Amino acid sequence: MGFIGSGYIGSTIARLAIEAGHQVVLSNSRGPETLADTAAKLGPRASAATRGEAAAAGDIVVVTVPVKAFPTLTAAPLAGKTVIDTCNYGPERDGHIPELDSESLTSSELLLRYMPDAMVVKAFNNIFFKHLLSLARQAGAADRSYLPIAGDSAPAKAAVTAFIESIGYSVVDAGPLADSWRQATDTPVWGDPIRAVLGREGPAGRRGHHSRSTGRRNAVTAGRGMGPTVL
Protein backbone atom coordinates (compact mmCIF):
# COMPACT_ATOMS: atom_id res chain seq x y z
CA MET A 1 0.00 0.00 0.00
CA GLY A 2 1.32 3.41 -0.97
CA PHE A 3 0.04 6.56 0.72
CA ILE A 4 0.09 10.04 -0.78
CA GLY A 5 -0.87 12.02 2.28
CA SER A 6 -0.47 10.65 5.79
CA GLY A 7 -2.76 12.71 7.96
CA TYR A 8 -5.47 11.39 10.26
CA ILE A 9 -7.35 9.30 7.72
CA GLY A 10 -4.23 8.13 5.86
CA SER A 11 -2.38 7.05 8.99
CA THR A 12 -5.52 5.30 10.29
CA ILE A 13 -5.93 3.32 7.08
CA ALA A 14 -2.22 2.53 7.23
CA ARG A 15 -2.55 1.23 10.80
CA LEU A 16 -5.47 -1.02 9.87
CA ALA A 17 -3.58 -2.22 6.79
CA ILE A 18 -0.55 -3.17 8.87
CA GLU A 19 -2.72 -5.01 11.38
CA ALA A 20 -4.13 -6.98 8.43
CA GLY A 21 -0.62 -7.92 7.27
CA HIS A 22 -0.01 -5.34 4.53
CA GLN A 23 3.18 -3.36 4.00
CA VAL A 24 2.70 0.42 3.82
CA VAL A 25 4.82 3.19 2.32
CA LEU A 26 3.91 6.64 3.66
CA SER A 27 4.49 10.00 2.04
CA ASN A 28 3.43 13.62 2.33
CA SER A 29 4.24 16.96 0.71
CA ARG A 30 6.97 17.79 3.23
CA GLY A 31 9.34 14.88 2.75
CA PRO A 32 9.93 11.45 4.30
CA GLU A 33 11.98 12.75 7.21
CA THR A 34 8.82 14.37 8.63
CA LEU A 35 7.15 10.93 8.76
CA ALA A 36 9.94 9.09 10.57
CA ASP A 37 8.11 9.12 13.92
CA THR A 38 4.81 8.02 12.35
CA ALA A 39 6.49 5.13 10.56
CA ALA A 40 8.34 4.10 13.72
CA LYS A 41 5.08 4.02 15.70
CA LEU A 42 3.43 1.87 13.01
CA GLY A 43 6.25 -0.66 13.20
CA PRO A 44 8.46 -2.59 10.79
CA ARG A 45 5.80 -2.99 8.11
CA ALA A 46 5.79 0.81 7.61
CA SER A 47 8.31 3.01 5.86
CA ALA A 48 8.46 6.63 4.71
CA ALA A 49 9.34 7.78 1.21
CA THR A 50 8.76 10.55 -1.30
CA ARG A 51 5.35 10.79 -2.93
CA GLY A 52 6.70 9.40 -6.18
CA GLU A 53 8.32 6.46 -4.38
CA ALA A 54 5.15 5.71 -2.42
CA ALA A 55 3.11 5.79 -5.63
CA ALA A 56 5.52 3.48 -7.40
CA ALA A 57 5.75 1.06 -4.47
CA GLY A 58 2.05 0.49 -3.90
CA ASP A 59 -0.10 -2.15 -5.56
CA ILE A 60 -2.91 0.08 -4.30
CA VAL A 61 -2.22 3.78 -3.67
CA VAL A 62 -4.27 5.84 -1.23
CA VAL A 63 -4.57 9.52 -2.14
CA THR A 64 -5.63 11.49 0.92
CA VAL A 65 -4.85 15.14 0.34
CA PRO A 66 -6.86 18.37 0.15
CA VAL A 67 -8.67 18.72 -3.18
CA LYS A 68 -6.74 21.93 -3.82
CA ALA A 69 -3.56 19.80 -3.91
CA PHE A 70 -4.71 17.66 -6.86
CA PRO A 71 -2.68 19.72 -9.39
CA THR A 72 0.52 18.95 -7.45
CA LEU A 73 0.18 15.17 -7.88
CA THR A 74 2.42 13.41 -10.39
CA ALA A 75 0.45 11.19 -12.74
CA ALA A 76 3.20 8.99 -14.19
CA PRO A 77 3.85 6.71 -11.17
CA LEU A 78 0.10 6.12 -10.84
CA ALA A 79 -0.51 4.97 -14.40
CA GLY A 80 -2.26 1.61 -14.36
CA LYS A 81 -2.57 1.67 -10.55
CA THR A 82 -5.64 1.26 -8.41
CA VAL A 83 -5.98 4.57 -6.56
CA ILE A 84 -8.23 5.02 -3.52
CA ASP A 85 -9.48 8.59 -3.29
CA THR A 86 -10.49 9.53 0.27
CA CYS A 87 -10.84 13.25 -0.42
CA ASN A 88 -13.79 15.56 0.22
CA TYR A 89 -14.19 18.99 -1.35
CA GLY A 90 -14.50 21.95 1.01
CA PRO A 91 -14.50 25.43 -0.57
CA GLU A 92 -13.53 26.99 2.76
CA ARG A 93 -10.26 25.01 2.63
CA ASP A 94 -9.80 24.29 -1.08
CA GLY A 95 -11.07 27.55 -2.54
CA HIS A 96 -13.92 27.54 -5.02
CA ILE A 97 -13.53 25.11 -7.93
CA PRO A 98 -16.17 25.90 -10.58
CA GLU A 99 -16.74 22.32 -11.77
CA LEU A 100 -17.34 21.16 -8.21
CA ASP A 101 -19.46 24.15 -7.22
CA SER A 102 -21.69 23.58 -10.26
CA GLU A 103 -21.71 19.83 -9.59
CA SER A 104 -20.81 19.12 -13.20
CA LEU A 105 -18.02 16.89 -11.81
CA THR A 106 -17.48 14.97 -8.61
CA SER A 107 -14.19 15.50 -6.81
CA SER A 108 -13.13 11.97 -7.84
CA GLU A 109 -13.79 12.76 -11.49
CA LEU A 110 -11.67 15.89 -11.03
CA LEU A 111 -8.87 13.78 -9.52
CA LEU A 112 -9.06 11.45 -12.52
CA ARG A 113 -8.35 14.42 -14.80
CA TYR A 114 -4.97 14.76 -13.09
CA MET A 115 -4.17 11.04 -13.32
CA PRO A 116 -6.08 9.84 -16.40
CA ASP A 117 -4.32 6.47 -16.61
CA ALA A 118 -5.09 5.50 -13.00
CA MET A 119 -8.13 3.50 -11.87
CA VAL A 120 -9.73 5.69 -9.23
CA VAL A 121 -12.07 4.32 -6.55
CA LYS A 122 -13.77 6.59 -4.03
CA ALA A 123 -13.64 5.15 -0.51
CA PHE A 124 -13.11 6.07 3.16
CA ASN A 125 -14.37 9.63 2.62
CA ASN A 126 -17.58 9.20 4.59
CA ILE A 127 -16.19 8.02 7.94
CA PHE A 128 -14.47 9.87 10.80
CA PHE A 129 -10.96 8.55 11.32
CA LYS A 130 -11.58 7.61 14.97
CA HIS A 131 -14.68 5.63 13.97
CA LEU A 132 -12.72 3.96 11.17
CA LEU A 133 -10.28 2.64 13.73
CA SER A 134 -12.76 1.66 16.43
CA LEU A 135 -15.49 0.06 14.29
CA ALA A 136 -13.36 -2.50 12.41
CA ARG A 137 -14.75 -5.99 13.00
CA GLN A 138 -14.00 -9.55 11.94
CA ALA A 139 -15.98 -10.99 9.03
CA GLY A 140 -19.26 -12.40 10.23
CA ALA A 141 -19.55 -10.09 13.25
CA ALA A 142 -23.13 -8.98 13.85
CA ASP A 143 -22.07 -5.34 14.22
CA ARG A 144 -19.73 -5.19 11.23
CA SER A 145 -20.11 -1.91 9.32
CA TYR A 146 -20.29 -1.26 5.59
CA LEU A 147 -18.24 1.31 3.69
CA PRO A 148 -19.39 2.58 0.27
CA ILE A 149 -17.12 2.61 -2.75
CA ALA A 150 -17.60 4.15 -6.19
CA GLY A 151 -15.57 3.72 -9.36
CA ASP A 152 -15.58 2.98 -13.06
CA SER A 153 -13.16 0.03 -13.13
CA ALA A 154 -14.51 -3.35 -12.05
CA PRO A 155 -11.02 -4.81 -11.37
CA ALA A 156 -10.07 -1.77 -9.28
CA LYS A 157 -13.30 -1.97 -7.29
CA ALA A 158 -12.66 -5.67 -6.69
CA ALA A 159 -9.15 -4.90 -5.41
CA VAL A 160 -10.41 -2.14 -3.11
CA THR A 161 -13.23 -4.35 -1.87
CA ALA A 162 -10.74 -7.11 -0.98
CA PHE A 163 -8.56 -4.59 0.85
CA ILE A 164 -11.44 -3.06 2.81
CA GLU A 165 -12.72 -6.50 3.77
CA SER A 166 -9.24 -7.43 4.99
CA ILE A 167 -9.18 -4.50 7.43
CA GLY A 168 -12.53 -5.14 9.08
CA TYR A 169 -15.36 -3.77 6.96
CA SER A 170 -17.87 -4.99 4.42
CA VAL A 171 -18.45 -3.03 1.20
CA VAL A 172 -21.44 -1.68 -0.66
CA ASP A 173 -21.05 -0.62 -4.30
CA ALA A 174 -22.38 2.92 -4.68
CA GLY A 175 -21.94 3.02 -8.46
CA PRO A 176 -19.56 4.80 -10.86
CA LEU A 177 -17.38 7.81 -10.09
CA ALA A 178 -20.16 10.08 -11.38
CA ASP A 179 -22.26 8.84 -8.45
CA SER A 180 -19.56 9.25 -5.81
CA TRP A 181 -21.35 12.41 -4.64
CA ARG A 182 -23.72 9.97 -2.90
CA GLN A 183 -21.13 9.46 -0.14
CA ALA A 184 -19.68 12.98 -0.05
CA THR A 185 -19.89 15.71 2.58
CA ASP A 186 -23.41 16.40 3.89
CA THR A 187 -25.01 13.28 2.48
CA PRO A 188 -26.73 11.01 5.01
CA VAL A 189 -23.91 8.46 5.05
CA TRP A 190 -21.16 11.06 5.50
CA GLY A 191 -19.52 11.01 8.92
CA ASP A 192 -21.74 8.13 9.97
CA PRO A 193 -20.96 4.44 9.46
CA ILE A 194 -23.62 2.85 7.27
CA ARG A 195 -24.50 0.33 9.96
CA ALA A 196 -25.50 3.20 12.25
CA VAL A 197 -27.53 4.88 9.52
CA LEU A 198 -29.40 1.66 8.85
CA GLY A 199 -30.15 1.23 12.51
CA ARG A 200 -32.00 4.55 12.64
CA GLU A 201 -34.08 4.03 9.51
CA GLY A 202 -37.35 2.21 9.18
CA PRO A 203 -37.79 -0.62 6.67
CA ALA A 204 -36.54 0.56 3.30
CA GLY A 205 -36.60 4.08 4.72
CA ARG A 206 -34.52 6.99 3.47
CA ARG A 207 -33.49 10.29 4.89
CA GLY A 208 -32.04 13.47 3.52
CA HIS A 209 -31.27 15.01 0.16
CA HIS A 210 -28.09 16.05 -1.55
CA SER A 211 -28.01 19.25 -3.55
CA ARG A 212 -26.79 17.55 -6.71
CA SER A 213 -29.06 18.49 -9.60
CA THR A 214 -30.38 14.96 -10.07
CA GLY A 215 -32.57 15.51 -7.03
CA ARG A 216 -32.20 11.85 -6.04
CA ARG A 217 -32.21 10.88 -2.42
CA ASN A 218 -29.36 9.58 -0.35
CA ALA A 219 -26.76 7.16 -1.58
CA VAL A 220 -27.09 3.93 0.32
CA THR A 221 -29.95 2.53 2.31
CA ALA A 222 -31.51 -0.75 3.26
CA GLY A 223 -34.32 -2.32 5.22
CA ARG A 224 -33.51 -3.81 8.61
CA GLY A 225 -32.22 -7.32 8.34
CA MET A 226 -31.34 -6.94 4.66
CA GLY A 227 -28.13 -6.20 2.85
CA PRO A 228 -27.49 -2.60 1.73
CA THR A 229 -28.77 -1.60 -1.67
CA VAL A 230 -27.93 1.31 -3.94
CA LEU A 231 -30.76 3.62 -5.01
Q: How far is CA 178 from CA 85, 98, 136, 168, in A?
A: 13, 16, 28, 27
Q: 175-225, pLDDT tens digit by residue?
A: 999 999 999 888 888 776 565 444 443 333 322 333 443 333 333 333 223
Average pLDDT rounded to a whole number, residues 147-162:
97
pLDDT at position 193: 58
Res 171 pLDDT > 80: yes
The radius of gyration computed from the CA coordinates of the chain, to the nearest angstrom, equals 17
Res 174 pLDDT > 70: yes
Average pLDDT rounded to a whole number, residues 163-180:
95
Higher-scoring residue by pLDDT: 190, 138? 138
Higher-scoring residue by pLDDT: 78, 199? 78
Res 60 pLDDT > 80: yes
Q: What is the DSSP string of 83-125?
A: EEE-----HHHH---HHHHTTSS-HHHHHHHHSTTSEEEE-ST
Res 110 pLDDT > 60: yes
**Average pLDDT of the chain to the nearest whole number:** 85
Task: Determine the straight-line distance between the first and last CA of the chain, rounded to whole angstroms.
Answer: 31
Confidence band (pLDDT; 50, 70, 90) for 153?
very high
For residue 4, give the amino acid letter: I
pLDDT at position 196: 46
Res 154 pLDDT > 50: yes
